[in-house]
A and B are shown apart, each in its own frame.
Chain A
Amino acid sequence: MELVTLIAAITIFALAIFLGFELITKVPPTLHTPLMSGANAISGITIVGALFASNIASDSGNYPLAAWLGFAALVLATINVVGGFAVTNRMLNMIAGKRRGK
């Protein structure tokens, strides 16, 4: 890794933290649970890492457990992503449905 790559990564890291702080400042209480759930689904982005880790061919001399650990990560991350967005959607539909149906 080049030093410049690391510095770029740290820059992105720091800026994204500031962005996160600014993004949600005022949120009505109704949305707290859906927001938490939606943010949680986004943190399932680790699914990308899990995909890479699952694709380590063991017969080209790789350590076999690595791929299985990646597979376990992939299953858990997918549950987090799919389940997270689905349940957030359910909650939001319910709130929206209540608003329309007045």
Chain B
Amino acid sequence: MDLEPEIWDIGYLIASILFILGLKKLGHPRTAPTGNLYGASGMLVAVVVTVAQMNFGDGIEGTVLIPAGLIAGGIIGYTMAVRVQMTGVPEMVALFNGFGGAASALVAASEVFRMINNGTIPTDWLTFHVAWIAIGLSTLVGWMTLTGSLLAMMKLKGGFEIFGKWYRTPTWGPEWLNYVKGIFLIGIVGLIYMSLEEPGNQDYVIGIIVLSCILGLLFVLPIGGADMPVVVSLLNSLSGVAAAFTGFIISNNVLIIAGSMVGAAGLVLTNIMCKAMNRRLIDVLFKSFGGTDKETVTRTKVGSDPDEVAMICDGISKCVIIPGYGMAVSQCQHQVREFADILEANGCEVKYGIHPVAGRMPGHMNVLLAEANVPYEKLIEMDDINSEMGECDVALVVGANDTVNPVARSGEGPLAGMPIIDADKARVVVMVKRSLSVGYAGVDNDLFYEDKTMMLFGDGKKMMTELISSMKEL
């Protein structure tokens, strides 16, 4: 029996099945490494099947560009993945995500420019409309994902360097910016429509690319650093959608399956994170939150010094450490671990209370603490640790604020109803924080001013180091 080349598509089915199983297994701690392996194998199958069914032309393109691209991309990607510090992972996921979106958009660009310049625009009504609409949408979503991800990456870093000068990433978004975004979107849809009317005109495609790039920036610009987990997760979903649209352009099912599956899964993850913050996705994306009119802090609190805290911590039997974004910024997870070791050597039980949205990526704290060799079993999720907070002697809050703010229980203000870690139920609360300033939500924290609260004002790494040396001197 002579087999048609389409028989290779069976390989794509195998790849799709591997992706489905991989994604499924990635959701459970025990099977996650296998899941990742399945995903990678699926990708290998897809690449091999694609190359195997190709007819290489006479030119250099296929035979040189394909190995060159695979080797160059492979080396760059692998080096980045191996070299990156665990604290830099969120930025890198954002960057990879942008690359994925850009790749889909570039495939769309390659297809459309080729067809226009070769004069091979499909004449059949259906083929033409499907191709051109898919190209328009893939271009829109892909370029948006690239510029949005790059901006999100800069926001995660906190700023960027130009000629040795450090600039903070701006966060700016008045109410009217939403209408501007709407106008851009309408403009892009209009351009897609016009490109259908006049398919030979490249200018429309270039117009879509430019507007989409700007739209991606405008989309992320108003969203503050603390909401970046939600944004990166949403952009992850978008890069999947871009891949799915690209699948429609080249009529390839594995792109459609993997792309739309990641698109949906990314959306689920985005929702999980929004729920943990007690916010709606719509609000995160379109309402400037906190940022503008923060409460001015009028109350004062005398700071404590590490010696005092060390004395309190001497001989306690239970301590819960609650890390937050501040720990990620000052990268003091190793010092936190060392402090915990000292307490444990003195017979104290130490646990870590992990708020679901602490940090800037879901699971950010887990990754940081894992890097500092903190055993997995000691990282306790919010609901479980809260039942133990009553019997806790010292709650050490390292660089967290909104996630332990008791006002969230009172049902008023922006934090109302957000689940928090009940640090205030501990006998003594020690907070390592740079100042009394408000957190991301722009709400003052009553916990600072309670009598049982000791504030250690300063950079997380510096204060934890001093605290450790004070403990050793006791």
Give the interface of A toward B (CB within 8 A). 1-3, 5-6, 9, 12-13, 16-21, 23-63, 65-67, 69-96, 98-99, 101-102
Contact of B39 among A38, A72, A99 (CB under 8 A): A38
CA of A25 to CA of B40, assembled, Å: 22
Question: Would you call A67 and B69 a contact (CB within 8 A)?
Answer: no
* Most A-side CB within 10 Å, residue of B59, B70, B81: B81
Closest to B258 in A: A45
B43–A33 contact, CB under 8 A?
no
A60-B59, A85-B39 given as contacts; is B81 within 8 A of A34 (CB)? no
A-B contact pairs, 12 of them (CB 8 A): A17-B263, A20-B265, A41-B39, A42-B262, A45-B254, A47-B47, A59-B58, A60-B57, A80-B77, A87-B80, A99-B376, A101-B375
User: Complex formed: what's the CA distance from A23 to B369 in Å?
Assistant: 28
| Contact of B262 (CB < 8 Å), options: A32, A39, A49, A60 | A39
User: Smallest Cβ distance from B11 to chain A, in angstroms?
Assistant: 11
Q: How far is the CB of B457 from chain A (nearest CB, A)?
A: 29
Which residues of B does A touch, CB under 8 Å?
15, 19-20, 22-24, 26-29, 32-33, 35-37, 39-40, 42-43, 46-47, 50-51, 54, 56-59, 61-62, 65-66, 68-70, 72-74, 76-78, 80-82, 84, 86, 89-90, 92-93, 96-97, 99-100, 102-104, 106-107, 109-111, 113-114, 116-118, 122, 124, 126-127, 130, 232-233, 236, 239-240, 242-244, 246-269, 272-273, 354, 356, 361-364, 366-367, 370-371, 373-377, 379, 381
The answer to whether B61 and A57 touch across the interface, beta carbons within 8 angstroms, is yes
| Interchain CB contact under 8 A, A45 and B89 | no
Check if A39 sits within 8 Å of B26, measured CB to CB: yes
In angstroms, how far is the closest chain B Cβ from the Cβ of A29?
5
Nearest residue in A to B265 (C-beta to C-beta)?
A20
Q: Kindly list chain A residues whose C-beta atoms are within 8 Å of the C-beta of B70.
A: 74, 78
Within the complex, the shortest CB–CB distance from B429 to chain A, in Å, comes to 23
* B36:A88 contact, CB within 8 angstroms: yes
A92 in contact with B73 given A86-B78, A87-B92 (CB within 8 Å): no
Residue of A nearest to B142 (CB): A46
Highest count of chain B CB atoms <10 Å: which of A24, A29, A91:
A29
Report A-chain residues with C-beta under 8 Å of the C-beta of B110. 53, 56, 65-67, 69-70, 73
Find chain B residues with CB under 8 A from A86 CB.
Answer: 77-78, 81-82
Task: Please provide the 5 A-B residue pairs with the shortest distance between their CB atoms, ordered closest to farther.
Answer: A78-B73, A57-B57, A20-B264, A32-B362, A83-B77
Q: Which residues of B contact A79 (CB under 8 A)?
A: 73, 76-77, 80, 96, 99
**Bound CA–CA A72/B364 (angstroms):** 31
| Closest Cβ–Cβ distance, residue A11 to chain B (whole Å) | 10
Task: Report the nearest B residue to A102, measured CB to CB.
Answer: B375
Whether B262 pairs with A48 at a CB distance below 8 angstroms is no
Inter-chain contacts of B42 with A (CB < 8 A): 42
On chain B, the residues within 8 Å of A28 by CB distance are 29, 381
CB-based contact A35/B27 at 8 Å: yes
> Are B260 and A13 neighbours in the complex by a CB distance under 8 Å?
yes
